[in-house]
């Protein structure tokens, strides 16, 4: 079973600053199956990134992501007020087919 | 744009079966995968399982013995049953469209979620 670890647990930043979030897998994975989601308080998660680096439809280009094997990053180049939220990475592994979410990184206002 | 809406009881007694339905609007349920994901209050996300419109299913091994997901294409709905519930099953339950290909997969869009509390 692959375990996802996200760091830091909380990231306190100011609007306009750059945020870098980390997602680490306990073993090497296919980057094709690594996705990132954003969840604002009281809302459902929203897909940001799929395939480790491809932005989903409608996602601003201030969001970017990269990585391979065990280490993946999500970067928000300049934080907007609406970007303060919890971010989850998610992985698909097979066999057996299982979807795993990381514990999340909360980006809050400093 | 496809929209998903969960419905079902918000309170279930311990040892009973949790039953939820997801209604899909703005598109057909046919041809796609559909999933259930849950989130205990204040905690992270847990994948429960998915179903293909044809009825093929795949479940989280940790829940497999208690989970049944079914689909009704005539009603454009899919459903979740979770048996023998305990307080640990208290969570917001989301129904989600699941995209799968040979190269990528992802969960999008998500329903608004429905809180199910397990309590006597």
Nearest-by-Cβ selection for B113 from A44, A54, A98: A44
Residue of B nearest to A101 (CA): B45
CA distance A101 to A97: 14
Per-residue pLDDT of B69-81, as tens digits, reads 999 999 999 999 9
Task: Write out the two tokens for B61.
Answer: 């091994």
Tell me how many residue pairs between chain A and chain B have CB atoms under 8 A apart: 55
Q: In this complex, do B45 and A88 lie within 8 Å of one another by their Cβ atoms?
A: yes
Q: In this complex, do B104 and A47 lie within 8 Å of one another by their Cβ atoms?
A: no
Query: What is chain A's mean pLDDT, rounded?
Result: 95
- Average pLDDT (A36-60) is 96
Per-residue pLDDT of A63-72, as tens digits, reads 999 998 999 9
Rounded to an integer, what is the distance from CA B12 to the centroid of its chain? 16
Q: What is the pLDDT of residue A95?
A: 81
Name every residue whose Cβ is closer than 8 Å to that of residue B56 and which is 6 or more positions away in sequence. Answer: none
Q: What is the pLDDT of residue B102?
A: 82
CA distance B100 to B118: 32
Q: What is the pLDDT of residue B26?
A: 96
Nearest chain B CA: its distance from A77 CA (Å) = 23
DSSP state for residue B89 in the 8-state scheme: G
At residue B93, does pLDDT exceed 90?
A: yes
At residue B18, does pLDDT exceed 90?
A: yes
Q: What is the pLDDT of residue A29?
A: 87
Q: Work out the number of other CB atoms within 10 angstroms of the CB of residue A64.
A: 15
Query: What is chain B's mean pLDDT, rounded?
Result: 97
Task: Provide the residue count of chain A.
Answer: 110
First to last CA, chain B: 39
Q: What is the pLDDT of residue B103?
A: 82
In whole angstroms, how far apart are CA A59 and each of A18, A43, A49, B102? 17, 17, 8, 23
At residue B98, does pLDDT exceed 90?
A: yes
Residue B112: enclosing H or E segment and its boundaries? none
Mind giving me the DSSP string for A32-44? GGEEEEEE-TTS-
- Average pLDDT (A73-87) is 97
CA distance A46 to A63: 13
Q: What is the pLDDT of residue A32?
A: 86
Per-residue pLDDT of A20-35, as tens digits, reads 999 999 999 887 899 9
Q: Enumerate the residues of chain A whose CB falls inside 8 A of the CB of residue B47.
A: 98-101
Contact A53, A30 (CB under 8 A): no
CA distance A85 to A18: 14
Nearest-by-Cβ selection for A32 from B104, B110, B113: B104
């Amino acid at each position: 079973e692959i375990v996802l670890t996200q760091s830091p647990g909380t990231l306190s930043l100011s609007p306009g600053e750059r945020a870098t979030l980390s997602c680490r897998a306990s073993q090497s994975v296919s980057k094709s199956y690594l996705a990132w989601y954003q969840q604002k308080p009281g809302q459902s998660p929203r897909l940001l990134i799929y395939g480790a680096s491809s932005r989903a439809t409608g996602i601003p280009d201030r969001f970017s992501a990269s990585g391979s094997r065990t280490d993946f990053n999500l970067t928000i180049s300049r934080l907007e007020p609406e970007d303060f939220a919890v971010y989850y990475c998610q992985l698909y592994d097979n066999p057996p087919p299982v979807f795993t979410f990381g514990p999340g990184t909360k980006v809050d206002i400093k | 744009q496809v929209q998903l809406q969960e419905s079902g009881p918000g309170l279930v007694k311990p040892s009973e079966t949790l039953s939820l339905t997801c209604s899909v609007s703005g598109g057909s349920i046919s041809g796609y995968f559909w999933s259930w994901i849950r989130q205990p209050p204040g905690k992270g996300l847990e994948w429960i399982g998915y179903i293909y419109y044809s009825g093929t299913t795949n479940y989280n091994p940790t829940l497999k013995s208690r989970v049944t997901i079914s689909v009704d294409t005539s009603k454009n709905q899919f459903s979740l049953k979770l048996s023998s519930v305990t307080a640990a099953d208290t969570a917001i339950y989301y129904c989600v469209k699941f995209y799968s290909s040979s190269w990528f997969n992802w969960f999008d869009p998500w329903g608004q979620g429905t809180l199910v509390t397990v309590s006597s």
